[in-house]
């Protein structure tokens, strides 16, 4: 026996009126609560729209009423949200076969329904503050959601939540932590400093001295055209890079560019035109071994760090590759 068709009130419950200017003479419109589309406020149009999305009641036993469909969708969505099941699981062929077996008339949701309008509706109902934690393996994996309730999202609170998850999993498996809360990120940085990790290597005396010498070399050949021309004749190309103190990447680029030009630099500084304009100390550094040994050590040390920095700054989730490098 077929079920009774929904009343006009049941149909209109699936829409919400759109506010219009009273001076506007156009036909009033309604907005669908499921897909957000605007529909002309005529009952036949509203029914047609619902039928299109298979939300209305049909007159035979193989279909369900509008209210049944809405209620089933919401309960099914809530099950997925509460159990932490990936939304794509709802399109699994075995799930679809199961649904067709127990309820042939029911048209199952898809992952877009779960991720958009139904999720928005559930959030509006709950109105709860949540911290979501995602792991990068390198694929993004939802790990946990913390309902903060009345807790304020302070740096200390977020830091402790992160710390708890890291300790539960295994600190050795984490390469980094990222949050949009600047205060919390600062708290992590402070904790790292307190843990006894070495200070910025660029501030060590021998490193600072070596980088100053690198700057002097680059500046000299950039500001003395005759010396630059002589160096160019030795190398056919010049790629000297000026380091920036606050950027490890440019420091490494500068070190590597000077090392590539080592032979040309040493051959150039013995030329009278260059030697007469260069300080004796800088000339001795270029011709000696200490500067080159220090630059080689810095190159060896900074290269993996710069590589990791560039991985962190890329748009592709690559954090899990860090331990492989």
Mind listing the pLDDT tens digit of every residue in the chain (325 residues)?
344 455 666 777 778 887 655 455 456 788 887 777 788 877 777 777 777 665 444 444 444 454 477 888 888 888 888 888 888 888 899 988 888 888 877 888 888 888 877 776 766 655 567 788 888 876 778 888 887 777 777 777 888 888 888 888 888 887 777 777 666 666 666 565 444 444 467 778 888 888 889 899 988 988 888 888 888 887 766 678 888 765 778 888 889 988 988 888 888 888 888 888 889 998 999 999 999 999 999 899 888 878 777 766 666 665 555 445 4
CA distances from residue 117 to 18, 40, 132 in whole angstroms, order as listed: 18, 21, 19
pLDDT of residue 197: 41
CB atoms within 10 A of CB 57: 22
Give the span between the Cα atoms of 291 and 259, in whole angstroms: 10
Give the span between the Cα atoms of 188 and 165, in whole angstroms: 14
Q: Which residue has the tokens 């150039």?
A: 268
Q: Is 126 helix (H, G, I), strand (E, B) or coil?
A: helix
C-beta separation of 139 from 317 below 8 A: yes
Task: Annotate 274-297 with DSSP letters as a single string.
Answer: HHTTS-HHHHHHHHSSHHHHHHHH
pLDDT of residue 240: 84
Contacts of residue 155, defined as CB under 8 A and 6 or more positions apart, other chains included, come to 181, 183, 184, 186, 187
Which residues does residue 147 pair with via DSSP β-bridges, in sequence order? 130
> Of 275, 259, 288, 293, nearest to 220 (Cα)?
275
C-beta separation of 207 from 298 below 8 A: yes
pLDDT of residue 26: 59
**Is the peptide bond between 243 and the residue preceding it cis, with omega within 30 degrees of 0?**
no
**Whole-model pTM?**
0.40
pLDDT of residue 287: 92
Length of the chain equals 325
Task: Annotate 189-206 with DSSP letters as a single string.
Answer: HHHHHHTT----GGGSHH
Give the span between the Cα atoms of 46 and 55, in whole angstroms: 11
- Running DSSP on this structure, what letter comes out for residue 84? T
pLDDT of residue 199: 44
CB atoms within 10 A of CB 261: 21
Residue ranges of domains in the chain: 8-123, 137-194, 202-324
pLDDT of residue 252: 87
């Amino acid at each position: 026996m077929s079920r009774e068709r929904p009343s006009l009130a049941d149909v209109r419950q699936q829409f919400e009126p759109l506010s219009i200017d009273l001076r506007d003479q156009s036909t009033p419109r309604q907005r669908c609560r499921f897909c957000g589309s605007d529909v002309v406020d005529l009952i036949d149009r509203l029914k047609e729209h619902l039928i299109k999305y298979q939300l209305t009641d049909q007159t035979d036993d193989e279909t369900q009423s509008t209210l049944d469909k809405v209620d089933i969708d919401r309960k099914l969505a809530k099950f997925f949200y509460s159990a932490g099941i990936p939304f794509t699981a709802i399109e699994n062929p075995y799930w679809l076969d199961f649904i067709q077996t127990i309820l042939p008339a029911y048209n199952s949701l898809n992952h877009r329904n779960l991720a958009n309008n139904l999720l928005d509706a559930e959030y509006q109902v709950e109105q709860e503050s949540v911290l979501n934690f995602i792991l990068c393996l390198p694929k993004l994996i939802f790990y946990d959601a913390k309902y903060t309730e009345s807790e304020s999202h302070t740096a200390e609170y977020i830091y402790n939540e992160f710390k708890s998850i890291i300790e539960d999993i295994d600190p050795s498996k984490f390469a980094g932590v990222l949050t949009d809360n600047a205060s919390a990120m600062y708290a992590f940085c402070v904790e790292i400093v307190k843990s006894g990790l070495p200070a910025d290597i660029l501030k060590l005396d021998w490193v600072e001295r070596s980088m100053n010498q690198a700057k002097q070399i680059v500046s000299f050949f950039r500001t003395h055209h005759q010396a630059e021309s002589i160096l160019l004749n030795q190398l056919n190309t010049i790629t000297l890079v000026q380091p920036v103190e606050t950027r490890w990447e440019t420091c490494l680029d500068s070190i590597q560019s000077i090392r590539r030009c080592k032979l040309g630099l040493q051959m150039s500084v013995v030329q009278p035109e260059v030697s007469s304009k260069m300080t004796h100390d800088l000339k001795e550094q270029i011709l000696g071994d200490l500067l080159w040994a220090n630059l080689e050590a810095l190159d060896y040390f900074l290269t993996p760090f710069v590589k990791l920095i560039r991985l962190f700054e890329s748009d592709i989730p690559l954090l899990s590759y860090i331990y492989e490098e």
